[in-house]
Amino acid sequence: MRKLKFHPSGNFNEYYAQELTIFETDFGRVSLIVGLMALFAIVPLVLSPYMLYIVNMIGIASIAAIGLNILIGYTGQISLGHGAFFGVGAYAAAILATSLGMPFIVAVPAAGVITALVGMIFGIPSGRLKGLYLTIATLAGQFIIEYVLVHWESLTKGTMGINLPAATLFGLELFSDRSFFFVIFISLVIMVLMAVNLMRTKYGRAFIAIRDNDRAAEGMGIPIFRYKLLAFAISSFYAGCAGGLWAFYMRSITTEPFNLNLSIEYIAMVIIGGMGNIAGSIFGAVFITFLNEGLRWGTDILINLGTFSSAALTMAPLREFVFGLAIVLFILFEPRGLAEVWRIVRSSFRLWPFSY
């Protein structure tokens, strides 16, 4: 058996493969396994249904945020249409489940694939455009998809929305928050593993090369248009799967939630969590979901105390304000996000008391 690595006192890598390991130390591997076991064994038993609902929302948001991070953080293509792609996934899953009667386990990945195709269509402008212009093109994509969802009534039932049948998995009906917890978090673990490993392959390295300088990447023989489309497809696949899970979890969907604000919310998760960092997306999803819930809770308390009447203090504007403030403060003071904060905290513990 090889020697276990715990706290190396420096960087002793001799091969490129050593740079690419997921875990720098065996300590990380052990703590991850312990953490996952705790997550699946303790969390669903201890938490109340409402808390479990929030945790599930975090799981779904994490999947979508990881997808966006692959696009923004790794490939450097800014997309303002991720909320709409999430909506496409939700609708695709709902339509597949109701009209075609597809079972849950097929409908969700199928929704992901359909969303990936839609994402590729809106990724086509990336062949000629970059930076600001691409951002505006994806903004247009957001509005066009929103319009189609509302107005293609024969397929999406317009503003009426769609009710989904209960999800069944291996003959078991998933109706409680707890059973969904397992489904969502097992998918999250699979999706995280896929994303982390994708970034270690040739495709991931090509994405990073395109982010750093796309002309130079092209010069080194990377077909950038194909890779950009691939990045759009993968990112939308994640959004579609998250949307499909969300649709089955909510049991009824309307077009309302998939607006520009949702897209901005996902970008906020990526930025606040840390761009180009998979764990960061999860941090970001946790932060934004708790921010939303905390604000709801806070406004409820203020209204109950009678300091403000419920008419004067509504949740939406305050949420909007705090949300913007969080984005601005993170960009100004910690642009590398919560992942960087986490790294600093961890290494200061590790190096204590002789930090250098």
Interacting residues toward other proteins by CB under 8 A: 72, 78, 124-125, 128-129, 131-133, 135-137, 139-141, 143-144, 147, 150-151, 213, 215-216, 219, 260, 264, 267-268, 271, 275, 313, 316-328, 331-332, 335
Give yes or no for a contact between 70 and 204, defined as CB atoms under 8 angstroms apart.
no
- Select 81 or 112, whichever has its Cβ closest to other proteins: 81
DSSP 35-65: HHHHHHHTHHHHS-HHHHHHHHHHHHHHHHH
The three-point CA angle 274-278-279 to 5° equals: 80
> Tokens 């089955």 belong to which residue?
248
Q: Which is nearer to other proteins, 19 or 212 (CB)?
A: 212
The Cα 78–Cα 262 span in angstroms is 15
**Nearest alpha carbon to residue 97 among 179, 185, 168, 181:** 168
Whose Cβ is closer to other proteins: residue 21's or residue 213's? 213
Could you tell me the smallest distance in angstroms from the CB atom of residue 256 to other proteins? 14
Least separation, in Å, of the C-beta of 328 and other proteins? 4
Q: Shortest distance, CB of residue 311 to other proteins, whole angstroms? A: 9
Contacts of 190 (CB under 8 A, 6+ apart): none
Closest to other proteins by CB, 24 or 340: 340
Q: Position 208: which residue type?
A: I
Q: Among residues 109 and 158, whose Cβ is nearest to other proteins? A: 158
Which tokens belong to 255?
Answer: 């077009």
DSSP per-residue codes, 286-311: HHHHHHHHHHHHHHHHHHHHTSS-TT
- Report, in Å, the least distance between residue 33 CB and other proteins: 34
Q: How far is the CB of 136 from other proteins (least distance, A)?
A: 5
CB 141 → other proteins: shortest distance, Å? Answer: 7
Q: Residue 199 or 295: which CB sits closer to other proteins?
A: 295
Pairing outcome for strands 252-253 and 172-174: unpaired
